[in-house]
Amino acid sequence: MKGRKYRREMLGEQLKYPRRNKKKKARKRMEIEEAREAALCGKDEELERGLRENPALAREADDSSYTLLHHACGYGSARGVALLLAAGADPERKDSDGFTPLHWAAGARRADALEALERGGWKARCRAENLSGKSPLSTAIQSGCARSAKSLLSMGYRGSSLDLPGDHPWVELIRVSRKPGWAREGNPEGLAREFALELDRAGISREDESREGNEIALRAALWENEIMLRLLRERGDSLERENASGISPLWACARDGKVRGAAELLRLGCDPVRKTRAGKSPLEVAAEAGNAEMLALLESAALGRGMPGEESGGEGSGRWL
């Protein structure tokens, strides 16, 4: 009853003094706009003064649902990010599209902003995915900033499991590292190695979290990502291991006509005549599919000629080359 009475009294005040309420709203919008400009432009002294006078500004959003921390992470200064975090801003608060300030920093390659959050002691409370299911970590991988990924991993952001592979960090790395222009410095293999090192340090698994099994190597082969196939091999991953359906990476490439992927797998030592649990070898699958180029590649490898390779046997040694 007391709550209802209070709300009726407040409504009466608003109806009684409409101009006063309009002035309050206008003043509040002005304060948010001034603070937004300070956060956006890196005017740290103005931002600090505004937060000192009204700490609640750190938790307010503008008409576009962006908080001050969104603007500071995307365009402002690292000190502004630290000021807002200390004032109670939430790095996981989402805008209307589900993007958090963490997404903004990762997408803008603002490693300094993420490092400021890390120094401020922020720890992940959820995966913080946007409406498309992308985590801040996947956004950092997509933007090609390994420093950003390192900070996000340190704060506890991991992306999804292999049961939801669209946002798994290794799957995202395989997807984007094959795209032209991903590495702004022009060295995609070097950048992929940096990301792989950070994912390894954080303990992000490539193993059977998925029901299918060997999901990472399969995707690298079918997406014809030679860089990632080499990195997986260097990490000791088996490139001939089958999934639950008895399909190996080379078998899948033979079935789908992925010649570049098959060529790299052969160079890394995969066996074109090894039958899988599905009952057929990659060579037999290519013959059934009628892909002349794939068939010629696999036959040449099976006969021990066609591509230069190493001499010793064993997986990854080039025994079929």
Q: Which of 68, 78, 3 is nearest to 39 (CA)?
A: 68
The CA distances from residue 321 to 3, 293, 301, in Å, are 81, 17, 5
CA-CA distance, 283 to 188, in Å (whole number)? 32
Please list the pLDDT of the chain residue by residue as tens digits (321 residues): 455 655 555 545 554 545 555 666 677 778 888 888 999 899 999 999 999 999 999 999 988 899 999 999 999 999 999 999 999 999 999 999 999 999 999 999 999 999 999 999 999 998 888 888 889 999 999 999 999 999 999 999 987 765 555 678 999 999 999 999 999 888 999 999 999 999 999 999 887 545 556 689 999 999 999 999 999 999 999 999 998 888 999 999 999 999 999 999 999 999 999 999 888 999 999 999 999 999 999 999 999 844 434 443 444 444 433
In a domain, 13, yes or no: no
Are 93 and 146 contained in the same domain? no
Compute φ and ψ for 119, nearest 5 degrees.
-65, -30
Q: Which of 187, 202, 217 is the last residue of a domain?
A: 202
Are 112 and 139 contained in the same domain? no
Are 94 and 140 contained in the same domain? no
CA-CA distance, 320 to 269, in Å (whole number)? 6
In a domain, 116, yes or no: yes
Query: How high does pLDDT run on average in the chain?
Result: 86
Residue 84 tokens read as 């807002």
Identity of residue 268: L
State the CATH number of the domain containing residue 259.
1.25.40.20
Are 145 and 177 contained in the same domain? yes
Tell me the pLDDT tens digit for each residue of 61-115.
988 899 999 999 999 999 999 999 999 999 999 999 999 999 999 999 999 999 9
CA-CA distance, 255 to 264, in Å (whole number)? 16
Are 49 and 81 contained in the same domain? yes
In a domain, 115, yes or no: yes
Compute φ and ψ for 138, nearest 5 degrees.
-65, -35
Q: Which of 96, 162, 113, 171 is nearest to 138 (CA)?
A: 171
In a domain, 68, yes or no: yes
In a domain, 233, yes or no: no
In a domain, 54, yes or no: yes
The CA distances from residue 302 to 15, 21, 55, 275, 317, in Å, are 87, 82, 71, 13, 14
Q: Produce one character per residue of 240-257: b if its CB has 16 or more CB atoms within 10 Å, e if not.
A: bebbeeebbbbbbbbbbe
Count of domains observed in the chain: 3
Length of the chain: 321
Are 259 and 303 contained in the same domain? yes
CA-CA distance, 279 to 263, in Å (whole number)? 22
Range of the domain at 304: 240-321
In a domain, 177, yes or no: yes
Are 161 and 95 contained in the same domain? no
In a domain, 263, yes or no: yes
Tell me the pLDDT tens digit for each residue of 240-261.
999 888 899 999 999 999 999 9
Q: Which of 121, 143, 174 is the last residue of a domain?
A: 121
- Containing 107, the helix (H) or strand (E) segment is helix 101-107
- pTM to 2 decimals? 0.81
Residue 100 tokens read as 């958090």
Instruction: Specify the pLDDT at position 64.
Output: 86
Are 101 and 169 contained in the same domain? no
Q: What is the DSSP string of 253-307?
A: HHHHT-HHHHHHHHHTT--TT---TTS--HHHHHHHHT-HHHHHHHHHHHTT-SS
Instruction: Specify the pLDDT at position 18.
Output: 55
Are 116 and 146 contained in the same domain? no
Are 140 and 196 contained in the same domain? yes
Are 103 and 143 contained in the same domain? no
